[in-house]
Structure 1
Amino acid sequence: MKIRLLFATIFIVLFSLNSFSQNEKDSLRSEIINYEQSKHVFLDKGRRLLLDHFEKSDMFKVKEVKDLLLKENEGNVYNTFYPIEFIYILYWTEEYNELIDFIKQVDFTLPVSNSVRILAATDNMFTSLLQQTVENKDLLLVFIEESEVSEMDKEFLVLQLEDIIRAGLSNRIDLESEQTVYINELSDLFLDKYPDSPYDTIIRETIRYKFEPSPWAFYWDFLGFGAVVPTSNLSDYFSTGVGMEMALDLRYKKLVGILGFGFSGHTLDNEILINGVTWANNSSATLGIGYLNAGYLLLDTKKVSIYPFIGGGYSGFSTSQDIYKEIPELKKLKLNSWFPQVGIGFDYKFKMPNLDYYEMGSDGNWSRISVRYTYRMPDFSRSLEGRGDISQPMDGFTHSIMVSWGLGGRGTERVK
């Protein structure tokens, strides 16, 4: 009897331990399954309930649900809403002091929680809030005007409302849109009226997007063609030539500096006695030049520039390789001359395809077509003096007309 009782006792104890262990495993299994899931589901249902009350225009319930969701997430907005969603909600619930405090410290670059990111993709909260805010902006403006916050706060809330609508409608700011121009005007008025306001940095850094031209501009004209026309005695020896030039153009405010290099191809119209030999008629000749100009912008718009310039350079003639191989004395002609020059330039500037004019507020992605007329005054006769050659006056000047294409532009700087 005692033995039976002992076995029964042992069986009951083992069965109880097994049951307890199984219950513990079931509890742990349930905990694993529901870990974080309950918070995600709670947030999902809460966001949808808030949106349902919002669409019914029950802002009292919207505020209650919003507060409860934040309480569940220990007040962390980024674990509950996207910042822009939260701002829309606070405008509608008329919690302006909380809204102002949030705007002062919000960081739109901080990531939201995974739950918010996932839920926002399906519950359409942002879309609904934005649509109602855009369609009923006048009503929100009335709410702001009738609120008890200070006049300065009211004006800032109006400005912030315009900005948050702009942010909702587009991921990038169209700097030339009427909306941006209006926001910039409101910003200027506010900054002038309240120069020491606590919103000064917010407006300058995140709301007002005004740009002004940079004082510096740079262009590189790497392909230019045109005509070089000798005059007077020089034209007796050299024909009109086809020229090619490259120029670097640096500008500061109204001042222009141009460094250029080029050459032009000519034909001899008369023979030239040089280096004790004859450079025959109809031979080819190349005129190489380098110059530096300083100019002034009489007109400088986004599309057009006009600028006179004055400068100087150095030029020299050479002949072809075939000729100086046959007549070695013509390899180094030393038919060179320093020269002064004057001229005028015209630029037509245009946007390059597929390049964003407003990338970071810069208009540097421009191309231009330039037309420059230059009057050069060399004197090649001097290089022949004292060399034992017969007198051959070459004191003519040259006209140069170049049409070139280049890249560059005058950047813009954001006004803060």
Structure 2
Amino acid sequence: MKNRLFVLLFFLVISLISAQNKDNIENEILSYTNSQTQIISKGRLLLADSFLEGDLQKVDEVRNYLLKEVDSENYIALLPGEQWLISYWTGEFYDVIDSVNYYYTKGSTNYEDKIFPTEDRLYYKLVEKSWNELEKLEEKILTSGLNEEEKDFLLLHLNYMISGQPLNTLTQDEINKMADLFLEKHPTGKLTDLVKSNIRFRFEASNWGFAFDFFMGYAVQNGALSSQFSNGFALGHGFDVEYKKFSLYLRNYIGFTKTLEEMEVEAVGWQKDMRLIQYLPEASIGYSVVDNNKLKLSPFAGIGGVAFSPTESDINNRPELEDSQVGFVTAYTLGANLDFKLGWNTGAIFPNNKTYWFLRCRYGYTMPQMGSYPGYEGNIHYFNIGIGGVFRAIKRDI
């Protein structure tokens, strides 16, 4: 009985201590004031109000206090973009250049482990007012004591700052054109590399590309082949490796034909109208002579093989057919690809004009070397139509 009473008292005391501790934490949270986060939040609010009222002296005072007294190794009072836009308004242009240069070359990692300010509208309002009064800010830059390169850089950087989020006032292409003008005017300036690496973002397609297609087609036999085998439909797929204007085509062509007369192949009799599989594997090299936003024309030449073989069902019925076929023999091929670019959007995959879907028309003239199969000399014309895509990665143009 005493043991039970002791256990009950023990759990009662633990419960009371836990409840008291919970109340203490709750009271501490409710009475928690003057934290770094609160000071930063209120300081940013005062800064935003002063900025919207046009009180740049107060903006300067609050900005300096936040950066010197509040910003620390653990807390961020003002983000770099906010500091730069404020400095444009207060006319501290040398500070902008030094800060931008330091941030992009050394200081961006300093922000990774810090506590960021709570979300507010300060940056939005800075960008919005800077955009609405852009000419005023640009005039301040042009009438400053900076040298020509520094003025041109700040004009470019200011437009870059207000071009993206949150207003999206200018496209990256427009910024790139402005950057190109700066680089053309200052090809070896002290700020040239900064513009190339951090403001101009232009991408171009890689020299290397990969493509695939699935096709159907029709093969026409000529010469002695035309008296032995019928013309027939085909299915297949291809894989391309591209480098600049050159293409390596790897193709697996399977045709459907039949015998036109009785024949004996490797001591095995083939009946008339016997169904056959026609194999035309191929590896060829092409070179694009026309390549625009509508079509691509590529003559090619290559090597492959040709064979005529019984179907699997006939082999199952007549096992002696398994080792009976005409070929494989080496074959040489000449022809041309004509790709019609379909214009379907590929921006979500690779945003460049060298990545696209296509409708491919292909003609090939295949010349099998039938010297070891007397009576089967001849050549093959094939026509294919298929659908596929070519994909090229993008790389930064610096």
* TM-score (norm. length: structure 1): 0.79
Q: Structure 2 residue aligned with 1:369, among 337, 341, 359? A: 359
Q: d(CA) in 2 for partners of 1:282 and 1:185?
A: 68
Q: d(CA) in 1 for partners of 2:53 and 2:170?
A: 32
Indicate if the aligned counterparts of 1:79 and 1:112 stay in contact, CA closer than 8 A. Answer: no
Indicate if the aligned counterparts of 2:204 and 2:352 stay in contact, CA closer than 8 A. Answer: no
Aligned match of 2:284: 293
How far 1:97 moved relative to its partner?
Answer: 1.0
Q: d(CA) in 2 for partners of 1:132 and 1:112?
A: 31
Deviations 1:340-383 (A, max 9, x none): 1111102234577786145xx66686443322111112254x33
Aligned match of 2:206: 214
Q: How well do the aligned residues superpose, as a CA RMSD in angstroms?
A: 3.0
* Rg larger in structure: 1
**Percent identity, aligned pairs only?**
28
Corresponding position: 1:81 with 2:78: yes
Corresponding position: 1:179 with 2:168: no
Corresponding position: 1:198 with 2:195: no
Aligned match of 2:67: 70
Distance 1:353 1:193, change over 3 A: closer
Q: Structure 2 residue aligned with 1:271, among 239, 254, 262? A: 262
Aligned match of 2:148: 151
How far 1:104 moved relative to its partner?
Answer: 0.9
Q: Residue 86 of structure 1 aligns to a residue in which SS?
A: helix
Number of paired residues? 368
Q: d(CA) in 2 for partners of 1:305 and 1:413?
A: 23
Q: Residue 378 of structure 2 aligns to a residue in which SS?
A: coil
Indicate if the aligned counterparts of 1:373 and 1:402 stay in contact, CA closer than 8 A. Answer: yes
Q: Structure 2 residue aligned with 1:231, among 211, 222, 232? A: 222
Q: d(CA) in 2 for partners of 1:96 and 1:325?
A: 86
Q: d(CA) in 1 for partners of 2:42 and 2:318?
A: 96
Q: Residue 306 of structure 2 aligns to a residue in which SS?
A: strand
Distance 1:276 1:33, change over 3 A: closer
Deviations 1:140-186 (A, max 9, x none): 11111111111111100011112111233379xxxxx9732232222
Give the unaligned 5+ runs of structure 1. 1-29, 172-176, 386-392
Q: Residue 384 of structure 1 aligns to a residue in which SS?
A: coil
Distance 1:42 1:330, change over 3 A: closer
Aligned match of 2:234: 243
Distance 1:86 1:135, change over 3 A: same
Q: d(CA) in 2 for partners of 1:149 and 1:158?
A: 12
Indicate if the aligned counterparts of 1:363 and 1:412 stay in contact, CA closer than 8 A. Answer: no
Aligned match of 1:307: 298
Give the unaligned 5+ runs of structure 2. 1-26
Q: Residue 198 of structure 2 aligns to a residue in which SS?
A: helix
Corresponding position: 1:396 with 2:370: no
Indicate if the aligned counterparts of 2:295 and 2:341 stay in contact, CA closer than 8 A. Answer: yes
